Structure 1
Amino acid sequence: MRKIVLAGVLTAFALFAAACGATSGASDDGSDTQEQEKVTVSHELGETDVPENPDDVVVFDYGILDTMDKLGIEPAGVPKGSIPSYLEKYESDAYTNVGSLKEPDFDELARIDPDLIIISGRQSSLYDQLEEIAPTVYLGVDTTRYMDSFKENMSKIGTIFDKQDEVDQELQNIEQSLVDLKDKSSSSVENSLIILANDDKISAYGPSSRFGLIHDVFGVPPVDEGIDASTHGMNVSFEYVVEQDPEMLYVVDRSAVVGGETSAKQLVENELVEKTTAYQNDNIVYLNPDYWYLSGGGLISVQEMINEISKSLE
């Protein structure tokens, strides 16, 4: 009789243990097989189911990398070819090099087997190929609606990594800085011109362009409303700059971040430009290309872009 009772107790215990194992998701080898929660992220290239708080993340956009850095989120892999100097810690061997911004290393990506890949404009044509490796989300900034697009991207990062409160606080700080900047820009200068210096060439940017937030969002008036809205800008000459005669001239030095041979200052401050109001009033401002050319659209870079323009108007 004792044996029968003992057998019954052992059977009940075994059933209970099995039930507990099923609830916790434990497998035969003791590993946790519980499926990770997912969030659905809508973006310009589609709708992607992403693991919540993904562990291994590859980032192909330096603005998103700067946002993750601000929020304390570690990536697994980044393209190391042109990392902004303020994010130079990601050049270390602790982070896998996944190629360049335009040419991902697909073999390295397959080896990492990431939980999530984040891309922007330079990789958009490769979206389908990247999706075959891991869930891929496009978080490029739409320059025609810069701040709304930026905030939407930040909200998506907050949702994916469960950092919404931190994101909201950072956005509030940026919004307050923006209010202060607009107060200055409404009365500081009559007009301005933005140019990109690239070795021996310059191109101009106006409203709704890559750097158009200076006009559209920050409130600094453009000297020329007719500049073509473009990622690459409108090719212009220094005669054009003299003809427009801007009161403020903003310069983004591409050569400084892509290994060019000529500095923007050497190129821009020539005999023609010396005739402009901007030069004569010492109002030529060389913007930091790390923020403006390499990593716009991040929590750090957007704040620094606001700070630079605000300082220029003092």
Structure 2
Amino acid sequence: MITTQSRRVLASAVVAAALLAGCASPDVEPTSPTATQGDFPRTVEHFRGATEIPAQPVRVAALDSSYSDAVLLLESELVAHTDYRQDGLPEYLGADRETFAAEAVSVGELSNPSLERLAAINPDVIISAEVRHGELYDQLSAIAPTVFSETTGPTWKDNIRLLAEALGKEVVADAKLAEYEERAQKIGAEINAKHNNPVVSIIRFAGEPTARLYRTTSFSGIVLEDAGIARPDSQLADPENPTNIMNAISPENLHLAEADLIIVSSYDPGDDKDAESVREAAQPFRASRLWDTLEGRKVDVRDEVWMMPVSVQGAHAILDNLAEIFDVDPHRN
């Protein structure tokens, strides 16, 4: 375990590098934490071991977008984040971007965050995942107390609870998750009652020779599961690999996408040339005779909502879509 004293010594080299690089700490006024749960200092057990957090964190650095969302969900101040596919924080976060991330600074791309920039921001705690930044864990821990989950994606609810433990926001996390799950159940119940328990399929074109059918173990699949929405057999959990989130199919197997409602998502790389490549890869599917023979209603949705968020806010955005598609009460407070 890295103690607070040793962290200060280790961080000095990183901070010095930041100053030499011309980085300056942004003028961010700390905000008061809300709904404190438990005592500090505390030790948080996580994927890389145990991290001592000496005082309740106020300024949080999140190096994965799902954790950026989680910081805002837990009503804490986000001071640093990384960018993936787009600059800045996504629109589905709404007014929380101004409330809890008004001074948030990007520290670079998800795949290559700047340690110098991060050190200059001086966060109270850093949150990420082994699958994202495992090779940087020791360097991050030299900057601030660092907590890692093993991965992101399907573990999003557990990851929110891990972050809540690090921030002393367990009460907030439990309330926000319960609120989401209750809303999902209400919307799902109305959909099932009004439309006689429809089966919903999810197909995605991601610029590959195959198309992806998303299983109940994927992010969007978990949201449908929480709503009690039925899924095709081809998109149930993989009995041989429970961590597998999708079923890759060729155009000849398009019948596996059949359902009462077929959600269609296409990866948007944000670049015209790459976007054209995605459309070309999808063409053998969309132009196939089998595509036209699918009896279910096909609805195109925004990829950045159904595939990218992996958060409670993103799950709420999917529920918004479902309520609109099936014409039921969205149960928004």
Which residue in 1 is equivalent to 2:140?
Answer: 130
Contact 1:63 1:296 (C-alpha < 8 Å) held by counterparts: yes
CA apart distance, 1:60: 1.4
Q: Write the distance in 1 (CA, Å) between the matches of 2:288 and 2:205.
A: 16
Which residue in 2 is equivalent to 1:235?
Answer: 248
Matched, 1:193 2:201: yes
Q: Write the distance in 1 (CA, Å) between the matches of 2:203 and 2:54.
A: 41
CA deviation vs aligned residue, 1:88-126 (integer Å, no higher than 9, x gap): 958x99333212112121222233343211113433453
Which residue in 2 is equivalent to 1:53?
Answer: 56
Secondary structure in structure 1 of the residue aligned to 2:143 = coil
Q: Judging changes above 3 Å, is the alpha-carbon distance between structure 1 residues 258 and 242 closer, same or farther for their aligned structure 2 residues?
A: farther
Q: Write the distance in 1 (CA, Å) between the matches of 2:227 and 2:135.
A: 31
Q: Judging changes above 3 Å, is the alpha-carbon distance between structure 1 residues 125 and 229 closer, same or farther for their aligned structure 2 residues?
A: farther
CA apart distance, 1:269: 4.3
Contact 2:189 2:227 (C-alpha < 8 Å) held by counterparts: no
Pick aligned residue for 1:84 from 84, 90, 94: 90
How many residues align structurally? 268
Pick aligned residue for 1:253 from 253, 266, 271: 266
CA apart distance, 1:277: 1.0
Contact 2:81 2:106 (C-alpha < 8 Å) held by counterparts: yes
Contact 1:185 1:219 (C-alpha < 8 Å) held by counterparts: no
Which residue in 2 is equivalent to 1:222?
Answer: 231
Which residue in 2 is equivalent to 1:270?
Answer: 287
CA deviation vs aligned residue, 1:49-108 (integer Å, no higher than 9, x gap): 224432332111223322332444222211134342335958x99333212112121222
Cα RMSD of the aligned pairs, angstroms, is: 3.6
Q: Judging changes above 3 Å, is the alpha-carbon distance between structure 1 residues 85 and 118 closer, same or farther for their aligned structure 2 residues?
A: same
Please tell me the residue identity of whatever aligns with 2:137.
Y
Q: Write the distance in 1 (CA, Å) between the matches of 2:246 and 2:200.
A: 15
Matched, 1:103 2:112: yes
TM-score, length-normalised on structure 1? 0.69
Contact 2:62 2:81 (C-alpha < 8 Å) held by counterparts: yes
Which residue in 2 is equivalent to 1:10?
Answer: none
Please tell me the residue identity of whatever aligns with 1:217.
D
Contact 2:48 2:148 (C-alpha < 8 Å) held by counterparts: yes
Matches within 5 A, 1:67-78: 67-78=70-81
Q: Judging changes above 3 Å, is the alpha-carbon distance between structure 1 residues 226 and 213 closer, same or farther for their aligned structure 2 residues?
A: closer
Secondary structure in structure 1 of the residue aligned to 2:69 = helix
Contact 2:217 2:242 (C-alpha < 8 Å) held by counterparts: yes
Contact 1:41 1:49 (C-alpha < 8 Å) held by counterparts: yes
CA apart distance, 1:185: 5.7
Contact 2:268 2:275 (C-alpha < 8 Å) held by counterparts: yes
Contact 2:305 2:317 (C-alpha < 8 Å) held by counterparts: yes
Q: Judging changes above 3 Å, is the alpha-carbon distance between structure 1 residues 157 and 186 closer, same or farther for their aligned structure 2 residues?
A: same
Q: Judging changes above 3 Å, is the alpha-carbon distance between structure 1 residues 245 and 153 closer, same or farther for their aligned structure 2 residues?
A: closer
Contact 1:58 1:118 (C-alpha < 8 Å) held by counterparts: yes
Contact 2:140 2:146 (C-alpha < 8 Å) held by counterparts: yes
Q: Write the distance in 2 (CA, Å) between the matches of 1:218 and 1:296.
A: 16
Q: Write the distance in 2 (CA, Å) between the matches of 1:214 and 1:196.
A: 16
Q: Judging changes above 3 Å, is the alpha-carbon distance between structure 1 residues 49 and 95 closer, same or farther for their aligned structure 2 residues?
A: same
CA deviation vs aligned residue, 1:12-60 (integer Å, no higher than 9, x gap): xxxxxxxxxxxxxxxxxxxxxxxx9422222333322224432332111
Identity in percent: 20
Long gaps (5+) in structure 2:
1-38, 328-333
CA apart distance, 1:310: 4.1
Contact 1:68 1:74 (C-alpha < 8 Å) held by counterparts: yes
Q: Write the distance in 2 (CA, Å) between the matches of 1:78 and 1:231.
A: 28
Q: Write the distance in 1 (CA, Å) between the matches of 2:107 and 2:120.
A: 10
Secondary structure in structure 1 of the residue aligned to 2:263 = strand
TM-score, length-normalised on structure 2? 0.66
Q: Judging changes above 3 Å, is the alpha-carbon distance between structure 1 residues 155 and 232 closer, same or farther for their aligned structure 2 residues?
A: closer
